[in-house]
Copies of this chain bind each other. A is one copy, B any other.
Amino acid sequence: MERVAIIGASMTQFGQREGEWIQNLLAEAGIECLEDAGVAVDDVEHLYVSNMASGEFEGQTGVPNALAHDLDAMPAYTQRVDQTSSSGGAGIYAAWQSVASGASDMTLLVGGEKMTHKTTGEATDVIASLTHPAEYKHGVTLPSFAGLTARHYLERFDAPRESLGKVAVKNHENGVDNPHAQFQKEVDLETILESPIVADPLRLYDFCPITDGSAALMLCPESVAEEYADEYAVISGIDGATDTHVVHEREDPTVMGGVVESGRGAYEMSDTEPEDIDVAELHDMFTILEFLQMEGLGFAEQGEAWQLVEEGYTERDGELPINTSGGLKSKGHPLGASGVAQGVEIYEQLVGEAGPRQVDADVGLCCNVGGFGNCVITTIMEAAQ
């Protein structure tokens, strides 16, 4: 079967986008991606929109149809992909399927979310609706799961609290060089460790912010890609997997089953191993999740990811740079956009367009986590020319 290529990428400014709304943000990234790929809109056959909750956040549904209209992409087929906070990764998988199945020879994927016009409480209510009602009604929201898991991890593996903070320090350092990031500023360890407690032992700076923004990717068969670009990326492996929706039913709270299973599938499909990965974007919605994904994906043994972070192994000049984009922590986390933006960063690293964030990479990986690992999509990309 022919491989699926990525030939263009874009992302809007992430952050507080006052005066904008979801329809604008999607169009902004979509137009820029068409330009970046050099593709005429009439050649787009399928158009996917990764978005979790435009209805809940803005009272507008049908946003894929609105986007097709705004881009003048009719009669391109369009659909919304929702997989909660991993809607973007699910969008990459849907777009991959549309091309790999032969249904489309040119698929534009745009992910976006508009959130900051809501109060933090209102936004948290929408996000919490993705957890199981049996847990939600007891107040066990995603941040509280993160706190419980972090405490368990630190005690069980004798890891210092500082190691979690160093994830945030690193990702903020990377974000300084990302002009689209919500926070383009460094944060020192002391500030993190003295920030207000949210879910003990995690503090404010262990959490990603609430964000507006949009990101896009253009996918096509490799034979078509060659007509458009000298350098492009291919998706060599992709898979998605669920874990229990009731989080407390999991046997080991430090093992994210969806990460392990989707990673296994993506490695197998691409015929790669963890050692082959040169750069990775992980879903650092909470600092503890970066440890769990590093371990679930085989970058570290169970209970040892914190040591690699302490050693600088995952810094931009380290052995395996993780979250060169700044991650969700610094770049921001507009739900439906985040997984797409992970793909944008890996694509740009592979084709040498990452500017001051550039690392030496032929193979990259993104891991996009829905809920607290309730569904996870792992994508492996390789440079091609």
A: which residues have CB within 8 A of B?
1, 23, 52-53, 55-56, 59-62, 64-66, 68-69, 73-84, 90, 93-94, 96-98, 100-103, 126, 129-133, 239-246, 257-258, 261-262, 370-371, 374-375, 377
In whole Å, how far is A155's beta carbon from the nearest beta carbon of chain B?
A: 28
A-B contact pairs, 26 of them (CB 8 A): A52-B61, A53-B55, A55-B55, A55-B126, A56-B56, A60-B129, A60-B133, A62-B129, A62-B245, A64-B83, A66-B132, A68-B242, A68-B245, A68-B375, A74-B243, A74-B244, A77-B93, A77-B241, A78-B83, A79-B82, A79-B90, A79-B93, A93-B103, A94-B97, A97-B98, A97-B100
- Pair B242/A73 contact, Cβ less than 8 Å: yes
Q: Is the CB of A69 within 8 A of B375?
A: no
A131 to B102 Cα, complex, angstroms: 30
* Docked complex Cα distance between A76 and B133 (Å): 21
Q: Are B370 and A77 in contact (CB under 8 A)?
A: no
- Which of B64, B68, B84, B93 contacts A62 (CB under 8 A)? B84
Q: How many copies does the complex hold?
A: 2
Q: A23-B133, A59-B129 are in contact. List 5 more A-B contacts (CB 8 A).
A: A62-B245, A69-B132, A74-B257, A94-B97, A100-B103
Distance in Å from the Cβ of A270 to the closest Cβ of chain B? 14
Q: Measured between C-beta atoms, what is the minimum distance from A135 to chain B in Å?
A: 11
Known: A53-B55, A102-B100. A258 touches B75 (CB 8 A): yes
Contact between B257 and A75, CB atoms less than 8 A apart: yes
Closest to A84 in B: B62
| Chain B nearest Cβ from A269, distance in angstroms | 9
Q: In whole angstroms, what is the CA distance A70 to B331 when docked?
A: 35
- B69→A244 contact, CB < 8 A: yes
Identify the closest chain B residue to A73 (Cβ): B242
For A56, A79, A258, A370, the residue with the greatest tally of chain B CB atoms inside 10 Å of its CB is: A79
Closest to A60 in B: B129
Contact A77 B257 (CB under 8 A): no
In the assembly, what is the distance between CA of A71 and CA of B246, in Å? Answer: 13
- Give the most central of A69, A90, A97, A100: most B CB within 10 Å: A97
Q: How far is the CB of A129 from chain B (nearest CB, A)?
A: 5
- Which B residue's beta carbon lies closest to that of A261? B75
Q: By the criterion CB–CB under 8 Å, are A129 and B68 in contact?
A: no
